Amino acid sequence: MKVGLPKEIKDNEYRVGLTPAGVRALTDAGHAVFVERDAGAGSGFETELYQQAGATVLGSADDVWAEGEMIVKVKEPIAPEYPRMREGQLLFTYLHLAPDRELTKQLLERKVTGVAYETIEDRKGTLPLLTPMSEVAGRMAVQVGAQYLEKMNGGRGVLLGGVPGVPAARIVIIGGGVVGTNAAKIAVGMGAQVTIVDKNLDRLRELDDIFLSKISTLASSAYAIHGAISEADLIVGAVLVPGAAAPMLVTRTMLKDVPNGAVIVDVAVDQGGCIETTRPTTHSNPTFYEEGVLHYCVANMPGAVPRTSTFALTNATLPYALRIANRGFVDAIGSDPGLKLGVNTYAGKLTYEAVAEAQGLDFTPLDDVLGGASSQTISSARSSS
């Protein structure tokens, strides 16, 4: 298969869809990879590394998109990229189509096969291509929080670990999933006093087993959250209700009892946030105050550490890219029902129900578009998974 790797062009996006190691895996398997010059520069991968890995380097994005039967990216295409997409081309990237009418329209009109990282599932029903970015954001949340707690950065001037004779900072992490657990690891490592709030008692039991006496766990309720944050130096928002907006768990009224200069890092901002006062911010203008509390609500936190994020992302995406390239699209999705769930658009049809619902458009099951023979392959693969 011919695989295209264009440079990302979204504002402040320095990640890239494949590392040189990923390119090497594809070329070793007999595929041709076309890389746009400087595609990996923002992540610290010089063009020569891709050449050494067997890629053909092309000077323009137009050329890469023209060559690639499968385009591997990080972010959803934006307007300048729309005309480059063509019928039958496979686009493997984060798409986040539900709120993006224009991109959905473009993918359908241009009959692009849109395989979205964020809707691929593994056998446990979790989202393996979202997990690495949650790991990055969770670990970053405490790092960023520590930085903004410093006085000259606008915080209340508290050192996370304290010192002998002075108590450590109190961190309340709301949501004990991937983001919350990774935040807790860093916070415990820095010597902070950590409380994790979750509504899932089994999850709290697991966290209690993992961290032993190094953290406190708290069953989620408005009362418990209000009490915990009233003494917090740093609050991390890390909840998720899959497919829904984040539940609003901290109200403006509660914030009036949070110490002045405390910091909120609402990682859940990409789903609307779990703090009433949250609004999305960017890396160039990341913070604002509400009720005397410093808010950091950047919706694409992993973008700040593109090198780590590119490695983490491609560790997770490469096996799928290889499967598609090696087996071809139809056979690849037939052999992996979780990968099949990633197919959002195919041959001009919207094949992911939640996106169709969100946009009030017609949903067509993928099997209906693929036709009889391929449908059989897919349903037999599903029953054996």
Ligand X SMILES: NC(=O)c1ccc[n+]([C@@H]2O[C@H](COP(=O)([O-])OP(=O)(O)OC[C@H]3O[C@@H](n4cnc5c(N)ncnc54)[C@H](O)[C@@H]3O)[C@@H](O)[C@H]2O)c1
**In the complex, which residues of this chain contact ligand X (CB under 6 A)?**
133-134, 137, 174-180, 197-200, 203, 220, 238-241, 246-247, 249, 267-271, 299-302
283 part of the active site: no
- Measured from each CB, the residue nearest to ligand X is 177
Choice between 29 and 219, CB closer to ligand X: 219
Report the half-sphere exposure of 275 (CA within 13 A, side-chain side). 33
Q: Are strands 343-346 and 113-116 parallel, antiparallel or unpaired?
A: antiparallel
In whole angstroms, how close is the CB of 153 to ligand X at the nearest point?
A: 19
Choice between 55 and 265, CB closer to ligand X: 265
Choice between 76 and 198, CB closer to ligand X: 198
Choice between 133 and 192, CB closer to ligand X: 133
| Distance from C-alpha of 359 to C-alpha of 365, rounded to nearest angstrom | 16
| Distance from C-alpha of 250 to C-alpha of 229, rounded to nearest angstrom | 9
In whole angstroms, how close is the CB of 142 to ligand X at the nearest point?
A: 14
For tokens 């130096």, what's the residue? 233
In whole angstroms, how close is the CB of 151 to ligand X at the nearest point?
A: 25
11 part of the active site: no
Catalytic residue among 96, 208, 226, 367: 96
The gap from C-alpha 278 to its chain's centroid, in whole angstroms, comes to: 19
Choice between 269 and 318, CB closer to ligand X: 269
In whole angstroms, how close is the CB of 113 to ligand X at the nearest point?
A: 25
For tokens 């224009």, what's the residue? 102
Q: Are strands 2-5 and 32-36 parallel, antiparallel or unpaired?
A: parallel
Catalytic residue among 63, 233, 266, 270: 270
| Phi, psi angles (nearest 5°) of residue 250 | -120, 120
Element (H, E) at 294: strand 293-296
| Distance from C-alpha of 72 to C-alpha of 55, rounded to nearest angstrom | 14
Structure tokens at 371: 């036709």
In whole angstroms, how close is the CB of 115 to ligand X at the nearest point?
A: 19
Choice between 40 and 176, CB closer to ligand X: 176
In whole angstroms, how close is the CB of 351 to ligand X at the nearest point?
A: 23
Q: In the chain, what is the greatest distance between 2 CA atoms, to the nearest angstrom?
A: 72
Query: Which amino acid, one-letter code, is at 97?
Result: L
Structure tokens at 195: 């409380």
Which 8-state DSSP code applies to residue 285?
B
SS3 call for 87: coil
Contact between 71 and 95 under an 8 Å Cβ cutoff? The reply is: no
- For residue 81, CA distances in Å to 84, 97, 122 come to 5, 15, 30
Helical axes 20-28 vs 306-327, angle rounded to 10°: 10
Contact between 223 and 250 under an 8 Å Cβ cutoff? The reply is: no
In whole angstroms, how close is the CB of 166 to ligand X at the nearest point?
A: 30
Choice between 3 and 141, CB closer to ligand X: 141
Catalytic residues: 96, 270
